[in-house]
Amino acid sequence: MRKFIPKFIFAVIVSVVAVSLPVSAQVSQEPEIMTYREYGRIRHERPYLLQLKSGQGELLYFGVGHVYRVDDPQVAEIERRFAEFRPTLVLNESQTPPVETTRELAVERYGEPGLVSFLAAKHNVRIKSLDPSRMQEIAHLLGTKRWTTEQVMLFYVLRRVSENNKKTSPRPADKLVQQALDATAKAPGFESLPKTVAEFEASVKRLLPSVADWRKVKSTIFDPNPDLGLYTNDVAYASSQYRDKYMVRLLADEVRQGGRVFAVVGSSHVVMQESALKKSLAQEASTTAAAERAQ
């Protein structure tokens, strides 16, 4: 039997998603995001930068190859671009990490989101996440009724292990997983999910038998390419499309309000969102110009 969040809980989560978006984001048409197959035919540099203007607002969108070492050239490039652009708002991928005492610690512990958080605090610039909340994202995935709650949980926890392994000083995998399981157990509707590392390991063996050692899981199983064949690839693609649409709406809304928006995200997102952003902001500029002529 497939297990999903109880209907009343799901309804609450969906309502949270709706009210959390700007009004213009709720009523506008869904952004058209490049498909993975289209993206697969493109070769682009990292970092990949996109700069757009609309009215008094401007966006500098920095597409990064994820970094966890402070000597990565992209770190210095982000700092340089930040200083030159002088943003009024900073947007980071994932949830905004805490501010570290040094740029070195910020990058080593949290990657480029940590760096962006450090820079925003240093220059007293407002910062918020470019992403929907994790519960919003999970609600969307479960709402498709393509995966069980256990499958979705396994995807997110195991992906954290993969990301942790890329860090210069990774945390012990067992402690990382147990912390994630403890947090998950507190959420309504998730009581039946694994609560110990041993139970988690059993889930991996049952749902992802091709993963020989979950502590050394390969990042390819989280590649948003449905053609790779694992359910985790399908989840990653659905997640990516949902997040991309959310990001486009949020970015366009902030720029329309006249902000100087500096956003840092994985380069593939910038490439896949570029056409939708240009279309959204061009339509806004065209509408504004028409309104001014009518006055």
pLDDT tens across the length of the chain (295 residues)? 333 333 333 333 433 444 344 434 444 467 899 998 898 888 999 999 999 999 999 999 999 998 989 999 999 999 999 999 999 999 999 889 999 999 999 999 999 999 999 999 999 999 999 999 988 999 999 999 999 999 999 999 999 999 999 888 899 999 999 999 999 888 777 888 999 999 999 999 999 999 999 999 999 999 988 888 899 999 999 999 999 999 999 999 999 999 999 999 999 999 999 999 999 998 654 444 444 444 4
Query: What does the pLDDT read at residue 191?
Result: 84
| The Cα angle at residue 267 between residues 60 and 223, in degrees rounded to 5 | 150
Contacts of 153 (CB under 8 A, 6+ apart): 184, 190, 193, 194
Of 254, 241, 244, nearest to 281 by C-alpha is 254
Identify the three-state secondary structure at position 125: coil
For residue 237, the one-letter residue type is Y
pLDDT of the residue at 13: 40
Can you tell me the distance from the alpha carbon of 185 to that of 195, in angstroms, rounded to the nearest whole number? 7
E-assigned strands of 78-184?
Answer: 89-92, 126-129
What pLDDT was estimated at residue 284? 54
Cα–Cα nearest to 254, from 31, 53, 113 = 53
What integer pLDDT is reported at residue 19 of this predicted model? 38
Structural element, H or E, at residue 115:
helix 103-122
- Which pLDDT does position 283 carry in this prediction? 62
Task: Sort 130 into a burial class: Cβ within 10 Å, 0-12 / 13-18 / 19+.
Answer: buried
Residue 157: the pLDDT is 96
- Sign (positive/negative) of CA torsion 70, 74, 76, 82? negative
pLDDT of residue 226: 83
**Fold designation for 33-133+240-286:** Protein-Tyrosine Phosphatase; Chain A (3.90.190)
Distance CA 195, CA 180 (A): 9
- Among 268, 196, 266, 247, smallest CA distance to 43 is for 268
Contact predicate 88/255, CB 8 Å: no
- The whole-model pTM stands at 0.81
Other CB atoms within a 10 A radius of the CB of residue 202 amount to 12
Q: What pLDDT shows up at residue 8? A: 32
Q: What is the b/e burial string over 80-89, where b = at least 16 CB atoms within 10 angstroms of the residue's CB?
A: ebbeebebbb
Confirm if 81 and 60 have CB atoms less than 8 A apart: yes
Q: Domain spans of the chain?
A: 33-133+240-286, 146-238
